[in-house]
């Protein structure tokens, strides 16, 4: 991007170029913030089994035996799954992400999705800014800048376009999961259950689906979707 700043300033002027650069820095900082939070925020571990068992005995008159994971020996509430990589159970586990070196669960799913969102916006921003230079290099005979400048522009444009296309698919899938209150693991399980219900002439409904608004608020906090505060976890609850 910085290779395109000098010719961009010549084209649109220094004030406009500074404003465009500020937008790019803003998107980059938000992507890095959410990426860092997704890495270092624990995915959400259930409490120790003995402690949870004592609390249930105190709160309930009936004898309730909670589930215990046979591998990590922690409490295994509904929607929790054992991660073979981390070696512990994760509440509302979505998947183990090798790019984060961390599980994606109830505590850091928000940061994971917002990282995908801002990274996609940053790639789109680069493609929009570099688009005019890419068009000149590919479709006209103009040879603006040095050879290295043209190589940087072409490589950056194609890499960002490819990443943006991949993020649209991945991010779109996770946005669907948020709207329907599912995880990736539950999506696969529900596909099998839905097929079985259809075969038996029954209607399948996800038991955790509370409606789109409340499903989104479960991930992004009690914020209005139209207020856009959900995009900035350092400002919103």
pLDDT band with cut points at 50, 70 and 90 for residue 143: low
**Model confidence at 133: pLDDT above 90:** no
Angle subtended at Cα 119 by Cα 118 and Cα 123, rounded to the nearest 5 degrees? 115
Strands (E), the chain: 81-83, 88-90, 95-97, 102-104
Angle subtended at Cα 84 by Cα 81 and Cα 88, rounded to the nearest 5 degrees? 60
> What mean pLDDT is predicted for residues 40-57?
82
- CA-to-CA distance for 159 and 170, rounded, in angstroms? 17
Q: Which long-range contacts (CB under 8 A, 24 or more apart) does 10-15 make?
A: 11/132
- 150-163 confidence digits (pLDDT tens): 788 888 889 999 99
pLDDT band with cut points at 50, 70 and 90 for residue 30: very high
- CA-to-CA distance for 170 and 94, rounded, in angstroms? 13
Residue numbers annotated as active site: 97
């Amino acid at each position: 991007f910085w290779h395109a700043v000098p010719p961009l300033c010549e084209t649109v002027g220094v004030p406009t170029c500074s404003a465009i650069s500020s937008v790019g820095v803003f998107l980059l900082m938000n992507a890095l913030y959410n990426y860092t939070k997704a890495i270092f925020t624990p995915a959400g571990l259930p409490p120790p089994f003995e402690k949870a068992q004592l609390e249930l005995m105190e709160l309930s008159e009936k004898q309730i035996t909670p589930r215990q994971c046979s591998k990590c020996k922690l409490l295994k509430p509904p929607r929790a799954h054992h991660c073979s990589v981390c070696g512990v159970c994760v509440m509302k586990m979505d998947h183990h992400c090798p790019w984060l070196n961390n599980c994606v669960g109830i505590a850091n799913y928000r940061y994971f999705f917002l990282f995908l969102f801002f990274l996609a916006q940053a790639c789109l921003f680069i493609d929009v800014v570099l688009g005019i230079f890419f068009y000149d290099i590919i479709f006209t005979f103009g040879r603006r800048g040095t050879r290295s400048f043209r190589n940087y522009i072409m490589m950056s444009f194609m890499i960002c376009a490819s990443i943006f296309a991949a993020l649209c698919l991945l991010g779109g899938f996770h946005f669907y999961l948020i709207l329907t209150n599912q995880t990736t693991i539950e999506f696969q399980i529900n596909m099998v259950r839905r097929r079985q219900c259809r075969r038996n002439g029954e209607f399948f409904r996800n038991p955790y689906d509370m409606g789109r608004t409340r499903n989104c608020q479960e991930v992004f906090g009690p914020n209005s979707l139209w207020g856009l505060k959900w995009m900035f976890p350092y400002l919103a609850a």
